[in-house]
Amino acid sequence: MPERSGPIYQLRLVVDPDAVADVDTWLEEHVREALQQPGILDCTAFAFSVPQAEKLGRVCQYSLASDEALDEYLDSAADLVEAELVSRFGDATEFSDHVLREDPSHELPPGESSNCLNCGMHLRGQYCGHCGQRSRGRLISLWELISDAFGDLFELDSRLWQTLVPLVSRPGRLTHDYLQGRRARYMPPFRMYLVMSLVFFVVAFFHPREELSLLFEEAPLEEPGETGDEELADPDEQASIEVEQAADDKDVTIVFGDDEDKPEAEAGDGQDESEECQIDPEDLEDLPGFLAKRLTPERLCQIYDKTVADEGKSLLEKVTSNVPTALILLLPLMALVLKALYPLSRRYYVEHLLFFVHLHAFLFLLLTLQILFVRLAGVLAIPELAVTLTVVASAFYAPVYLFVAMRRVYGQGRFVTFLKYIALLVAYFFGFVSIMTLTFALAAFSI
């Protein structure tokens, strides 16, 4: 086989004998049309044998100039070809597509083992065909260890970038390709989801000055005289400053207001009666027995006191730590909604789940980019209007992304897709509110 610089895209057809003549005629016309498209170096069609004795096989192979040409063809023409096959031949043809790449390495490097050191299988090249490990058995260098860890970040043709680019710019492309069997070039869906969610929560909730306060110097406190105001607006604040400037060897006690009010203030520990927790047990009588045993007035008041004492910081930390788990639980619920919206799509439940895994990964990536842009804009002094317009435009891109993704993956018309799109948004809103309410309640009862 001659060496090729690009991949081969292969369309396999399994045809009923009654329709094979029409399919062959269509293939001849299709080959001539394909050769006119940019990026396609060659296109041939030929027959092959299939296990089903009553069926006939046909293959159409496209030799493409590069991976970019393959991506362009898959985006622009591949779906149209599949749609044409369905419309012209219906159930008389079954088709599938594959991407082939030539492996130029057929021999082992000199001095290397002929069996894989990881699984023991016989080697035919520099990589094991069973487990994928490279054939080298020597210790790797420090540089190679670093390259293995961060190589994907700096290689433009790595799976990381081949996944992130279509994830942002081509709605539904990852899900469509994965369901069509084109998976090796992309990151695994759930791994990508976990990576995107981890990056988002680190960027959103990690504050360097709070988490790494030891590395930052404290800002000097301003002296009262440095404010430029000769008189304070509040006479009580003016009096307190005069007390602080008194001689160190004197004890000064100043009481503002009536003396009769002082003991009551001290007895209340600085908390007004209006701020005290007051829950009427009769308000909880209508709760189910399961909740009534746990939502007692004493426990509710205890949660209230803890929340007021630290200004809600503990509650916020608990909610934040539980949000990733809550969003993971939201995925299967929304997949059930998609399953109900597309009952005739002949797709398995896990295929609908895959759609939402990719959608949530995109949302995490979009929110991460928004946060980083806003922070970077503060450093580069970008006008606030430009920042606001960019954030708003990216926020409007998310619902448009969902609509286009639904059309690409499920292939229905605009009007039908729009109706299901509205139903999905409503279901997603109620599902998100419900799961976050549950998360808030669990966080409140765990502080």
Residue 328 burial (10 A CB sphere; 0-12, 13-18, 19+): middle
Q: Give the pLDDT score at 381.
A: 84
Compute the average pLDDT of residues 415-430: 95
User: Dihedral of CA 125/130/132/136: which sign?
Assistant: negative
Q: How many CB atoms lie within 10 A of CB 179?
A: 15
Report the pLDDT value the prediction gives residue 309, as an integer from 0 to 100: 75
pLDDT at 10 over 90: no
Least confident interval from 7-21, 63-77, 247-261: 247-261
Q: b/e for 65-95, b at 16 or more Cβ within 10 A?
A: bebebbbbbbeeebeebbeebeeebeebbbb
Q: What is the mean pLDDT of residues 57-76?
A: 86
Check whether 390 has a pLDDT greater than 80. Answer: yes
Confidence of residue 306 (pLDDT cuts 50, 70, 90): confident
Summarize the confidence of residues 166-172 as an average pLDDT: 91
Q: Give the model's pLDDT for residue 266.
A: 47
H or E element in which residue 41 lies: strand 40-48
Instruction: Give a three-class secondary structure readout of 145-186.
Output: HHHHHHHHHHCCCCHHHHHHHHHHHCCCHHHHHHHCCCCCCC
Q: Which pLDDT tens digit goes with each residue over 20-53? A: 888 899 999 989 988 888 888 889 898 888 776 6
What is the DSSP track for 363-394? HHHHHHHHHHHHHHHHHHT--HHHHHHHHHHH
273-302 pLDDT, tens per residue?
446 666 666 666 666 666 666 666 677 777
pLDDT at 407 over 50: yes
Q: Which DSSP string do the residues of 209-230 spell out, in sequence order?
A: HHHTGGGSPPPPPPPGGGGS-S
Burial of 123 (0-12, 13-18, 19+ CB in 10 A): buried
380 vs 375: CA distance, rounded Å: 9
Instruction: Judge whether 243 and 236 are in contact, CB under 8 Å.
Output: no
What's the rounded Cα separation, in Å, for the pair 421 and 401? 11
Instruction: Say what the pLDDT of residue 1 is.
Output: 40
pLDDT band at 262 (very low <50, low <70, confident <90, very high): very low
Task: Specify whether the CB–CB gap between 297 and 279 falls below 8 A.
Answer: yes
List, for residues 74-114, the tens digit of each pLDDT value. Answer: 888 888 888 888 888 888 888 888 888 765 544 444 445 56
Dihedral sign for Cα atoms in the order 275, 280, 286, 288: positive
Q: What does the pLDDT average to over 434-442?
A: 87
Residue 270 pLDDT: 46
**Domains of the chain, each with CATH number or no CATH:** 8-100 (3.30.70.100), 313-444 (no CATH)
Dig out the tokens for 186 from the structure: 């992309």
- Please give the radius of gyration of the chain, using alpha carbons only, rounded to the nearest integer: 33
Q: Which of 98-107, 138-147, 226-235, 407-416 has the lowest mean pLDDT?
A: 226-235
pLDDT, greater one: 447 or 415 = 415
Average pLDDT over residues 403-407: 94
Q: How far is CA 167 from CA 113, 173, 174, 335, in A?
A: 40, 7, 7, 19
Contact 36/42 with Cβ under 8 angstroms?
no
Which of 325, 364, 332, 328 minimizes the C-alpha distance to 442?
Answer: 325
Report whether 374 contacts 209 (CB < 8 A).
no
**pLDDT for the residue 369:** 93
Give the length of the chain.
447
Range 145-168 average pLDDT: 70
**Of 173 and 276, more confident:** 173
Kindly report whether the global pTM for this prediction surpasses the value 0.85. Answer: no
Whole-number pLDDT of residue 271: 47
Q: Considering the chain, what is the average pLDDT of its residues?
A: 77
pLDDT in the model for residue 427: 95
**Spatial separation of the C-alpha atoms in residues 89 and 46, rounded to whole Å:** 19
Of residues 50 and 223, which shows the higher confidence score? 50
